[in-house]
């Protein structure tokens, strides 16, 4: 039982944290709440489907193509739409909602509102401490660790990372110090959307693709990010594992109530916020 | 004799204050249109569309009241709507209270909901508040699913009493209720309370420094907004005769916000006009059902990019000018201000 | 400049107004029978509704139409996208438009119960006959029982109501358990119940708690994931831990796909049976990348089984026209060409009040068996009427495995449908228990 819970937490937590890091990074650096974040995750899934089914690409190639395509689309929508209104947070939220709806509708027009699927990269499963795990889940976890290490490397060891961190801390000063703030925002958007596409690409072989699939991870992702504190990467990762743990505990200890996992996770979020309004590790954005 | 005086005063008011300003003329014509429409065109489908438009207008205006004026960004406004719908359904089905009682009561329950979510949200600001408020209706949906014996689960509660029994009756009740509640909200926002709301949105710290209890006013905004949204929910439940989990859905919350943005946030009248334009337009688009949502979303993006203060406000700016010297409004064709006679072409 | 903008806005409103009033007012044509087909037209369920109805219309119109009294009337179908999965408001508006603007004689379709409850009220207000094809909830017919004078215009077309569906799938469970016990020499069978969390499942859970022990099996546990869960591996490992031999599923939405997919990936040594609406679809093999092998579910139309001549003809015509097996919402075909046609020809009129007594007493062969309604206008289940078959995914095709020598009671004659196949067990399951 304990092993089950730990493994389930690790796998779900890693998926949530990939999504949450991207979302949080964009907020931290560019102060953009990107509701369409998980819509990019959905788009990546559809790209892989189209790539493998219509163009007959190898799944790995399709994955790569999907991540690149989604990243370009993300950058384009930032340049064409979001950049013009990003000074108004509310307008940004609404514009990204509209953007997500547009993506969803275009997918419905193209693929219909059916359930679709793509093949897994490696078939089969392995047994760890008596618990069955699919290779795809093992991959997800490994990829996530690699991704985390590379994010850490990027942020801590490169000049770009320094610029990103500086902008996240104080945009105006960073700008005054000669950092190209809008360029950094653009790069961050690219990284973030790329993460969303990546998450879509590795998660999707285990589940179903449909045009509304962006809504439920969106809610959990936002809960994770708010819980960990907006803009904090450490917070996002810890928040993701807290949510994963909560869900796993509910599924294993309360089998009749496993539908409640979303509600309980959100209730924990609200309780934390009442005690600590800026989340666990959030930066205070008051006075901006 | 005195009647003549009143008539004359009325005539002067109309001539001097209303005819002169296109927005006032449009408002009066719009209200008249709503009131006489069932008499000239008693079409039950058209009335149905307008009844639902009135319900959503009330709901959208209540969102604008809370989020536009008081600046408490609420992305889970469906909570109040759903609470209103479910509570009036429960009052009606379990306690057999007729709609005339269950709808006001559901408004009060929604006020309670406003207080319950208002208290924790007092500590949250801006984006944290927006993201947290999304959670409330989802949690309530979980509760609804967990208690199917009371709430009917995913089927909802059905078989409620009809609102009045006739379509025309429903129409007048809902339309008058909408006009009344939106007038109340509009007048409130134009009063001192409205000024305080503006100030809370713009700079809460300064307001606190001035010795104003912002907590009280924020809770007031949550409660009043909840009241009107709850009434809208109650009316919706009795009109559709079902209160189901769809009233609590994320898309309900998002739709309300989109209406408000289309009309122009922080106006009240913009929300009403937006719903009365977009809701029937969506019905016309039934002819091309697959493009409806796409069109809806694209409109919003265009509005945000090119008319940041909303479509309605954009039109108003085109048909009215404000004098830069005395601050009075004039219609767009005037060359000089009607009060201080300052020419417009110089600015 | 300002005048021109004013004018433009005026023209815009004028056009919108004209467009709206045009879409509001369409003259009725009394020489045709107008049938409204309402459903979520962007989803497969709505496509099933429409395809079935379209096929019926083509068949009837090419043979001259339906005889009403002395004249032959052709059928005109009106498509209404209810958008009911996203919005109940839209669904109710679509129903109102069908009835008051298009002035249809009959309405068929519907899918999501919350929406159908709202649509039902509108159809009843207008005293229009509404045959539901899609929702399984018994709630709809309870209303007929409680307030007959108001709800008499409502009839259940397909599927059978949920309590019959459940009863029938417990019979499937019993059959499979018996075969399993015999094949693998198991002393006792353990059953895990996995049901999505929706209201109609509540009685299933209650029934499972009492029925499964009564059938001589052990209940290993009950799991209730949400309808849209995208990861059920936690539930799956808990189920495997419980040692269940059979997983009794009750799914109607996307979680049904996810569950089957992940169970197949993890090779859980248990056989799935019960209700899984998605699994009964012809393209489920592709949707699950072949992971649905050995999954058993309730089914309305199966390639290898012939229920009756009507059903065979319908399935052949449908496959010829659309190149796929019909989904259960394609029962709209039978609703038009069997139920409505027979009733209208008998009555010689389109008047709803004259048609109701005829529909109430109608006993007619349809594509899913013999159709007859009880006093609640609910279609009757049982031997001699409609029953629900069970199908198993075997090697890429969905094969009927039940009824196979089924006896409704001890002295009843055994029922087997033509072409029924034997049940197969996954090799990893045989391996695990031998």
- The 10s digit of each residue's pLDDT in C47-96 is 999 999 999 999 999 999 999 988 899 999 999 998 888 888 889 999 99
pLDDT at B347 > cutoff 50: no
- Measured between alpha carbons, how far is residue C108 from residues C82, C244, C329 in Å? 12, 41, 10
How many Å apart are CA C389 and CA C409, to the nearest integer?
Answer: 17
Name the residue with higher pLDDT: A127 or C213.
Answer: C213
**Residue-number span of the structural domain to which B118 is assigned:** 44-283
Q: Average pLDDT of C126-155?
A: 92
**pLDDT for position C357:** 93
Q: Which of B126, B66, B123 is nearest to A271 (CA)?
A: B123
pLDDT tens-digit readout, B173-198: 999 999 999 999 999 999 999 999 99
A287 is a domain residue: no
Q: What is the pLDDT of residues A107-126, one digit of tens each?
A: 988 888 888 888 888 788 88
Given this model, what pLDDT does residue B265 score?
87
- pLDDT value at position C1? 40
* DSSP code at position C327: P
ipTM for the predicted complex: 0.85
pLDDT of C39: 93
Evaluate whether residue A283 is within a structural domain. no
Residue C19's pLDDT band (boundaries 50, 70, 90)?
low
Nearest to B127 among A84, A230, A262 (CB): A230
Cβ A137 vs Cβ A11: under 8 Å: yes
pLDDT band at C10 (very low <50, low <70, confident <90, very high): low
Residues of chain C found within 8 Å of residue A214, distances taken between Cβ atoms: none
Q: Is B314 on the interface with A (CB under 8 A)?
A: no
- Asked whether the predicted pLDDT for residue B276 surpasses 90, the reply is yes
* Per-residue pLDDT at A28: 84
Interface touch A117/C225, C-beta < 8 Å: no
Tell whether B31 is covered by a domain: no
Report the largest interatomic distance among the alpha carbons of chain A, rounded to a whole angstrom.
57
Q: What residues of B are in contact with residue C27 (Cβ under 8 Å)? A: none
How far apart (Å, rounded) are the C-alpha atoms in residues B53 and B175?
9
| Residue of chain A minimizing CA distance to B310 | A91
**CB distance A200 to A15 below 8 Å:** no
- Comparing B325 with C172, the larger pLDDT belongs to C172
Whole-number pLDDT of residue C91 = 92
Q: Output the pLDDT for position C190.
A: 93
Which structural domains are found in chain C, ordered by start?
A: 32-159+307-371 (3.40.50.2300), 163-299+385-433 (3.40.50.2300)
Q: Inform me whether the pLDDT recorded for B346 exceeds 70.
A: no
- Give residue-wise pLDDT tens across range C265-323: 888 999 999 999 889 888 899 888 888 999 999 988 888 888 888 999 999 999 999 98
- Mean pLDDT (chain A) is 85
Contact yes or no for A219 and B75 at CB 8 A:
no
**pLDDT given for residue A287 in this prediction:** 41
Pairwise CA distance, residues B210 & B221, whole Å: 19
Average pLDDT, integer, range C401-429: 85
Q: What is the tally of structural domains in chain A?
A: 1
CA distance C256 to chain A (A): 10
The structure tokens listed for C59 are 């068949």
Contacts of C84 in chain A (CB under 8 A): none
Give me the percent of chain C exceeding a pLDDT of 90.
47
Q: What pLDDT is stored for residue C21 in this prediction? A: 54
Question: Is A284 a member of any domain?
Answer: no
Q: What DSSP letter does each residue of A212-263 carry, written as one string?
A: TTTHHHHHHHHHHHHHH-TT-HHHHHHHHHHHHHHHHHHHHH-GGGGGGHHH
In this structure, what DSSP letter does residue C39 have?
E
pLDDT at C2: 47
Q: Are C162 and C188 in contact (CB under 8 A)?
A: no
**Residue that the structure tokens 């509704």 belong to:** C49
A44 belongs to a structural domain: yes
pLDDT digits (tens, 9 = 90+) for B57-74: 999 999 999 998 988 889
Q: Which of A119, A134, A208 to mutate to test the interface with C (most CBs of C within 10 A)?
A: A208
A247/C224 Cβ within 8 A: no
Residue A75, pLDDT score: 94
C-alpha neighbours within 13 Å on the C-beta side of residue B315: 19
Q: Which residues of B touch C101 (CB under 8 A)?
A: 45
CATH number of the domain within which A89 lies: 1.10.3470
Q: Is B193 domain-assigned?
A: yes
Q: What is the pLDDT of residue C75?
A: 93
Mean model confidence pLDDT for chain B? 88
pLDDT in tens, C374-399: 999 999 998 888 888 999 999 988 99
**Residue B317 Cα distances to A217, B23, B331, angstroms:** 41, 10, 10
**pLDDT, mean of residues C17-24:** 53
Question: Into how many domains does chain B fold?
Answer: 1
Q: Which domain holds residue A244?
A: 2-275
Report, as an integer, the average pLDDT of C29-34.
Answer: 80
Between A and B, how many CB-CB pairs are < 8 A? 121
pLDDT for residue B99: 92
pLDDT value of residue C29: 55
Instruction: Express the helix, strand and coil content of chain C in percent, nearest 5 each.
Output: 45, 20, 35
By CA distance, what is C92's nearest residue in B?
B240
Cβ count near C166 (within 10 Å) = 23
CA distance A82 to chain B (A): 9
Is the previous residue joined to C159 through a cis bond, with omega within 30 degrees of 0?
yes
Q: Which secondary-structure segment (H or E) carries C298? A: strand C296-299
Residues B247 and B237: their CA atoms lie apart, in Å, by: 9
How is chain A split among helix, strand and coil, in percent rounded to 5?
Answer: 75, 5, 20
Report pTM.
0.88
Is residue A217 situated within a structural domain? yes
Which residues, given as ranges, of chain A have pLDDT below 70?
A: 258, 282-288
Chain mean pLDDT for chain C? 87
pLDDT value at residue C307? 85
């Amino acid at each position: 039982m304990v092993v089950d819970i730990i493994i389930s937490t690790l796998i779900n937590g890693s998926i949530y944290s990939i999504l949450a890091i991207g979302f949080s990074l964009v907020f931290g650096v560019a102060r953009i709440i990107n509701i369409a974040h998980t819509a990019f995750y959905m788009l990546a899934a559809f790209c892989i489907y189209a790539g493998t089914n219509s163009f007959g690409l190898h799944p790995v190639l399709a994955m790569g193509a999907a991540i690149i395509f989604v990243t370009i689309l993300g950058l384009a929508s930032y340049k064409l739409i979001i950049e013009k209104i990003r000074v108004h947070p509310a307008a940004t939220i609404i514009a990204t909602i509209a953007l997500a709806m547009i993506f969803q509708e275009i997918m419905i027009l193209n693929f219909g509102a059916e359930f679709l699927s793509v093949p897994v990269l490696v078939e089969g499963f392995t047994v760890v401490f008596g618990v069955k795990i699919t290779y795809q889940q093992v991959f997800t976890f490994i990829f996530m660790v690699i991704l985390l290490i590379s994010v850490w490397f990027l942020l801590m060891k490169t000049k770009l990372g320094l610029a990103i961190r500086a902008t996240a801390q104080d945009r105006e000063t960073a700008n005054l110090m000669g950092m190209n703030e809008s360029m950094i925002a653009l790069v961050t958007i690219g990284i973030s959307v790329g993460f969303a596409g990546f998450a879509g690409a590795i998660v999707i072989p285990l589940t179903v693709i449909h045009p509304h699939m962006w809504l439920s991870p969106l809610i959990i992702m936002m809960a994770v990010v708010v819980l960990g504190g907006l803009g904090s990467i450490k917070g996002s990762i810890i928040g993701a594992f807290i949510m994963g743990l909560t869900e796993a505990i509910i599924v294993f200890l309360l089998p009749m109530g496993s539908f409640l996992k979303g509600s309980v996770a959100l209730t924990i979020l609200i309780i934390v916020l009442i005690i600590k309004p800026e989340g666990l590790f959030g930066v205070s954005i008051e006075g901006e | 004799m005195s009647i003549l005086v009143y008539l004359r005063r009325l005539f002067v008011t109309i001539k001097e204050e209303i005819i002169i300003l296109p927005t006032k003329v449009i408002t009066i014509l719009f209200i008249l249109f709503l009131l006489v429409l069932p008499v000239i065109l008693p079409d039950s489908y058209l009335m149905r569309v307008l009844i639902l438009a009135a319900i959503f207008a009330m709901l959208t205006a209540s969102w604008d009241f809370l989020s536009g004026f008081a600046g408490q960004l609420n992305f889970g406004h469906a909570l109040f709507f759903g609470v209103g719908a479910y509570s009036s359904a429960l009052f009606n089905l379990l306690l057999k209270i007729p709609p005339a009682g269950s709808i006001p009561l559901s408004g009060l329950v929604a006020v309670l909901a406003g207080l319950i979510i208002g208290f924790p949200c007092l500590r949250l600001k801006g984006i944290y508040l927006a993201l947290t408020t999304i959670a409330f209706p989802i949690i309530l949906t979980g509760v609804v699913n967990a208690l199917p014996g009371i709430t009917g689960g995913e089927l909802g509660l059905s078989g409620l009493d009809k609102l009045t029994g006739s379509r025309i009756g429903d129409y007048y009740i809902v339309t008058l209720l909408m006009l009344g509640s939106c007038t109340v909200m509009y007048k409130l926002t134009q009063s001192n309370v409205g000024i305080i709301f503006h100030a809370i949105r713009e700079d809460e710290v300064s307001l606190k420094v001035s010795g104003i209890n912002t907590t009280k006013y924020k809770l007031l905004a949550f409660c009043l907004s909840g009241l009107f949204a709850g009434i809208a929910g109650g009316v919706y439940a009795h009109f559709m005769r079902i209160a189901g989990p769809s009233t609590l859905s994320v898309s309900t919350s998002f739709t309300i916000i989109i209406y408000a943005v289309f009309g122009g946030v922080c106006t009240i009248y913009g929300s009403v006009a937006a719903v009365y334009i977009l809701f029937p337009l969506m019905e016309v688009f039934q002819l091309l059902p697959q493009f409806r949502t796409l069109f809806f979303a694209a409109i919003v993006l265009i509005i945000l990019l090119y008319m940041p203060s909303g479509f309605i406000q954009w039109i108003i700016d085109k048909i009215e000018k404000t004098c830069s010297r005395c601050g009075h409004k004039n219609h767009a064709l005037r060359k000089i201000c009607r009060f201080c006679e300052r020419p417009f072409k110089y600015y | 400049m300002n005048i021109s903008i004013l004018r433009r806005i005026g023209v815009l409103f004028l056009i919108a107004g004209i467009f709206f009033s045009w879409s509001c007012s369409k003259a009725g044509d009394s020489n045709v029978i107008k049938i409204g087909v309402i459903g979520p037209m962007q989803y497969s369920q709505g496509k099933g509704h429409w395809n079935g109805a379209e096929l019926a219309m083509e068949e009837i119109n090419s043979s001259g139409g339906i005889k009403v009294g002395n004249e032959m009337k052709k059928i005109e179908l009106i498509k209404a996208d209810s958008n009911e999965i996203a919005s109940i408001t839209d669904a109710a508006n679509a129903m109102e438009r069908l009835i008051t603007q298009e002035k249809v004689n009959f309405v068929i379709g519907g899918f999501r119960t919350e929406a159908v409850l709202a649509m039902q009220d509108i159809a009843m207000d207008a005293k229009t006959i509404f045959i539901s094809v899609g929702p399984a909830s018994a709630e709809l017919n309870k209303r007929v029982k409680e307030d007959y004078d108001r709800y008499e215009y409502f009839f259940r077309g397909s599927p059978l109501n949920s309590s019959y569906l459940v009863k029938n799938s417990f019979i499937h469970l019993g059959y499979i358990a018996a075969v399993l016990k015999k094949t693998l020499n198991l002393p006792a069978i353990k059953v895990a119940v996995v049901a999505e969390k929706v209201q109609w499942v509540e009685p299933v859970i209650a029934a499972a708690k009492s029925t499964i022990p009564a059938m001589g099996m052990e209940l290993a546990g009950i799991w209730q994931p949400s309808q849209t869960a995208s990861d059920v591996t936690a539930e799956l490992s808990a189920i495997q831990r419980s040692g269940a031999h059979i997983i009794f599923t009750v799914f109607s939405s996307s979680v049904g796909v996810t569950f089957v997919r992940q169970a197949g990936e993890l090779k859980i040594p248990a056989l799935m049976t019960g209700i899984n609406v998605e699994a009964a679809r012809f393209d489920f093999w592709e949707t699950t990348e072949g992971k649905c092998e050995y999954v058993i579910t309730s089914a309305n139309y199966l390639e290898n089984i012939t229920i009756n001549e009507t059903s065979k003809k319908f399935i052949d015509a449908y496959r010829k026209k659309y190149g796929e097996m019909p989904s259960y919402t394609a029962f709209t075909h039978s609703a038009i060409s069997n139920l409505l046609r027979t009733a209208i020809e008998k009555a010689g009129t389109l008047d709803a009040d004259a048609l109701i007594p005829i529909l109430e007493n109608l006993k007619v062969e349809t594509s899913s068996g013999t159709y007859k309604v009880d006093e609640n206008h609910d279609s009757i289940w049982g031997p001699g009427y409609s029953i629900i078959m069970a199908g198993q995914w075997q090697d890429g095709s969905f094969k009927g495995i039940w009824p196979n020598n089924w006896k409704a009671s001890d002295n009843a004659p055994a029922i087997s449908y033509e072409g029924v196949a034997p049940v197969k067990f996954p090799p990893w399951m045989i391996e695990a228990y031998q």
